Amino acid sequence: MASISPQTTTDTSLIPDPRAHFSFTALPFTQEIPATKMWRQPGLDELVDDLEASVSARMSVAVIAPSGTGKTTLLRRLVERLPDTRYQVADIKVTSVSNRDFYRGLARALAVEPTGTWPALLEKLQAHAQSLAATEARRLVVIIDEAQDMRPEVLSTLRVLTNFNLDSELLISIILVGDGGLDTLLHRPDMEALRSRLSRVIRVRLLSRTETKAYIDHRLDLVGARQQILDDSAVEAVYDFSRGNLRAIDHLCRTALEIAARQKLETIDAGLVTAARKRLP
């Protein structure tokens, strides 16, 4: 019996390239963006200030907002502001791992030998924080991204890190970052002790209609767009579909630009944004 192999489209010429079509200098709406090219999101500087002040006051905080609203970008901005001379920063992204694997990962991120049981690792991390404070006057900042994916039994152990040494010295600031799932987790009765250690919850908001337009313009300016590519109706449609969520805006605009390139259109209207929306999951 003849076997049928799946049809593959490896011919890259079939993939429309908006760069060639629109004479862009680079692909717009990419996931990664250098700090110098970021859009100055209104209100975001204040959030970075708040986070920095909390860390400086030796506090732990939670940053809660839906996926795609700019949380990870906000953290990158915070980390850039924390001088190595005063802080050692562990910036980790977690998945649903056991206590042992979580504390091994954290130890590795802090250049602490990742061996032993998890309670032993926890003690090693405490000792590390104490020696760092005593010998170098530096403090630990532990940033945990995607914290909604943590197992509850792992998350609850973090309270031990936020206050050891008889509460007299706060040597570790923990920044928990996640979506609504983290909010739900933190409100479980068994998280009461951890929740009480958090000095505040920072929430990142969605963009407004006018901010959505400003963001799209910024992203297109970065790649040298010469004219207004999305007409007013298109920008309205992007806002209506994305509700001001940055990642959703990126996906919609990227897909709309690809369709426009394929159809050799110079401008994008609401109909084309709707077509792009239908292609996205």
Ligand X SMILES: Nc1ncnc2c1ncn2[C@@H]1O[C@H](COP(=O)(O)OP(=O)(O)O)[C@@H](O)[C@H]1O
Instruction: Pick from 18, 24, 62, 69 the residue near ligand X by CB under 6 A.
Output: 69
Q: Which residues contact 75 (CB under 8 A, 6 or more apart)?
A: 63, 91, 143, 145, 175, 177
Verify binding: residue 72, ligand X, rule CB under 6 A. Answer: yes
In degrees to the nearest 10, what's the CA dihedral of 278, 220, 48, 198?
A: 10
d(CA 87, CA 149): 26
Q: From the list ligand X, Mg ion, none, which binds 244 (C-beta under 5 to 8 Å, kind-based)?
A: none
d(CA 44, CA 51): 11
Tokens of 34: 């250098």
In angstroms, give the least distance from the CB of 215 to ligand X.
7
The phi and psi torsions of 139 (rounded to 5 degrees) equal -120, 155
How many residues can be counted in the chain?
281
In angstroms, give the least distance from the CB of 30 to ligand X.
6
In angstroms, give the least distance from the CB of 128 to ligand X.
28
In angstroms, give the least distance from the CB of 247 to Mg ion.
9
Cα end-to-end span (Å), the chain: 36
- 42 by DSSP, 3-state: which? coil
Verify binding: residue 72, Mg ion, rule CB under 5 A. Answer: yes
In angstroms, give the least distance from the CB of 71 to Mg ion.
5
Binding mask 17-46 for ligand X (x = CB under 6 A): --------------x-x----xx-x-----
Instruction: Pick from 73, 126, 233, 274 the residue near ligand X by CB under 6 A.
Output: 73
Tokens of 208: 């407004």
Please list every residue from 239 through 258 that binds ligand X, using CB under 6 A.
246-247, 250
d(CA 215, CA 235): 10
Kindly tell me which of 112 and 207 has the beta carbon lying closer to ligand X.
207
d(CA 43, CA 69): 13
Of 63-71, 96-104, 125-133, 238-246, the segment contacting Mg ion by CB under 5 A is: 63-71
Residue numbers at the binding site for ligand X (CB under 6 A):
31, 33, 38-39, 41, 65, 67-73, 246-247, 250
Residue numbers at the binding site for Mg ion (CB under 5 A):
71-72
